[in-house]
Structure 1
């Protein structure tokens, strides 16, 4: 490739920056221009992880990694063999940013400050010669015989031989992709909390369990992990994962659905019944409310006594078979009704985007429009919470950037 290629990148988020840097690094002769609509780029990087930036996840096998993506896992499998979390860690380490792994596998900068990641990307963009243009919202894009014409809202026109769209879940990105011939899977929210209209439950706000199983029976979907009771219903990793896998199902039902919670997934009805019978035998004179005989906070235990219509002042010796059966059912198959969705802090994620069948995942080039590339959340890819959405951004943009620079 003798003549330099003019590269345009639309979107100043994680994917846009990483793709522009990868392209400029792979072939410094190519002028790379990054167009960002706002005054301050990398907004989502700065607010993610409670301001700490959950950069990636300590999962280093592609086969395991793809299981964390409700949509797009199959397409990403090959991509992760070329750039995966280990490569992300090394990329940042080479630029002086060390990451640490927390107990649940999430990885953050050792500074616990998302600004570390934002400044690293900004510095690398400058040093690799990426031309960053802020407050440059794109109005339209058209395919020309020799490349792309990008018209900005201020009336200015930019031309590029190759174009990378990395606009996240912004509606403008979907419009630009459609204008260039692509179909869009309808975008709907992913990663959200559940509203439960249960005032007695709301009184337990702040109570959590380290391991529960939550299930959408009508969708035949379930997830396990920590669950947190909130002022409006349920949150926590298990709920967020279930919301991601059930994103379209719940959207189609206007976020109204039965929910079943197993508070003691390590038990089954028989083992739990035997355990409660042994407590009844040992603690005959104590009140049922005196302590929690199972691995649940006492406040949650008292709540379940109420749910099972059991007077907690009664002694264990007075607990009837019918009451015990109700208690076992509520602990292992606790029925609720989802009445709406909440939000998960500022870490909004969207399910939907550019149809993956229309993209070559070896290069992230469009199969419909030559020299057009995609990266990040604009694609119909979304991961569960834990750094997986950022890893999608790093992987797809790195592959797209390299391909744009090297002519493939």
Structure 2
């Protein structure tokens, strides 16, 4: 079977590229090869099943700061296609989006199926062939064509797009062609922590600063206590920026949590002394301070050796010091990680030095393009990984159709 463009990978980046190419040049013969039974499976589970399409950051340089790997390289592409362009693109397709208070952007329907239906409908309307159960076994270039060998037969195409995400088999094939692939490590994960101070606090959330011991890694923002440990933006950002380093620690490391986010231990100790003087008859345990969730405050009070019935007047210097330490420098041992919801993001992929970011074409092979997580690009949570897919797919589509006209 002969095509003008074959896209390997039936995910977000693959479909976005195919649709944009077909819109730019309806005469091109395009196929998507997907190894699984279904396409867009990652889109389905993203954002808790709602599909976090992108994020409400409309300044290219600020948007790029959310990418631990790819920040420098994406600045240029984001000036061509970014958040506002994504919203306009979906709007033209009849998909209404909404911006939530934290900046995340979802379909108004709150269902990822809306995005899936949009892609499937557009692909069908534009004549893009979607071939499932086609696992690619090999590909090579001969003269001006790419030969692709799959479990369902062979194909030839003028142009080849790889949009397979973190698929080690495809990375190996690309390495055989001479491309360099950075080994994958998990990104965007939660911390497994077994500690009596948080054992009975699942669901408690508060703003905190988190630091990794023996590292420069630090993060801040909402921290969520879960049944298995800690999650929330503060932890997820830390896992993304620290993906490589935390992998080297084999996910066994210590963190320091400042539950008051910015206050120092000295400042906090001073405030605790004031509480001792001003509320001497009150029980320390009963009334939460520093606007902390009550259950968290009570747990930290007990962890400081202050019993439930103790009044502020009876708290000694040692207990005050211990409480100030628990509030601002709480040490927790992390032993292992868990995938964030059903989303799986990796750091790693094709070396960014081998890509022309004006076209998303390989510097090593003409007519070989990449988009999405197959590249060594990943982001913090909040819709940024999808924005990378949309941007790469759009720019590649422009280059593909400019080269064929």
TM-score range, shorter-chain basis? over 0.9
| Maintained 8 Å contact 1:141/1:179 | no
Secondary structure of 2:219's counterpart equals strand
| Maintained 8 Å contact 2:371/2:393 | yes
Q: Deviations over 1:278-314 (max 9, x none)?
A: 2222221121111112221121112112222222321
TM-score after normalising by structure 2: 0.97
The Cα shift of 1:275 comes to 2.4
1:393 maps to which residue?
Answer: 389
Pairing 1:76–2:97 present? no
Pairing 1:176–2:173 present? yes
The Cα shift of 1:354 comes to 0.3
2:40 maps to which residue?
Answer: 42
2:346 maps to which residue?
Answer: 350
For 2:36 and 2:108, locate their aligned partners in 1 and report how far apart those are by CA, in whole Å: 28
Q: Deviations over 1:367-397 (max 9, x none)?
A: 0111100000000000000000000000011
Matches within 5 A, 1:139-150: 139-150=137-148
2:95 maps to which residue?
Answer: 97
- Farther off after superposition, 144-153 or 198-207: 198-207
The unaligned stretches of length 5 or more in structure 2 are none
- Farther off after superposition, 91-100 or 137-146: 137-146
2:199 maps to which residue?
Answer: 202
| Maintained 8 Å contact 2:165/2:373 | yes
Pairing 1:160–2:157 present? yes
Secondary structure of 1:185's counterpart equals strand
Secondary structure of 1:157's counterpart equals strand
1:29 maps to which residue?
Answer: 27
Matches within 5 A, 1:7-406: 7-154=5-152, 156-209=153-206, 211-406=207-402
For 2:173 and 2:81, locate their aligned partners in 1 and report how far apart those are by CA, in whole Å: 27
For 2:319 and 2:387, locate their aligned partners in 1 and report how far apart those are by CA, in whole Å: 49
| Maintained 8 Å contact 1:180/1:369 | no
For 2:101 and 2:15, locate their aligned partners in 1 and report how far apart those are by CA, in whole Å: 29
| Maintained 8 Å contact 1:276/1:293 | no
| Maintained 8 Å contact 2:197/2:303 | no
| Maintained 8 Å contact 2:69/2:378 | yes
Q: Deviations over 1:71-93 (max 9, x none)?
A: 11111110100000100000000
The Cα shift of 1:172 comes to 2.5
The Cα shift of 1:5 comes to 7.1
The Cα shift of 1:22 comes to 1.3
TM-score after normalising by structure 1: 0.96
Q: Deviations over 1:242-290 (max 9, x none)?
A: 0011111111111011101010024233432332222222221121111
For 1:247 and 1:26, locate their aligned partners in 2 and report how far apart those are by CA, in whole Å: 38
For 1:338 and 1:193, locate their aligned partners in 2 and report how far apart those are by CA, in whole Å: 10
Q: Deviations over 1:6-30 (max 9, x none)?
A: 1110000000000111111112222
The unaligned stretches of length 5 or more in structure 1 are none
Secondary structure of 2:80's counterpart equals coil
- RMSD over equivalenced CA pairs, Å: 1.4
Q: Deviations over 1:126-155 (max 9, x none)?
A: 12221111221111111111210001113x
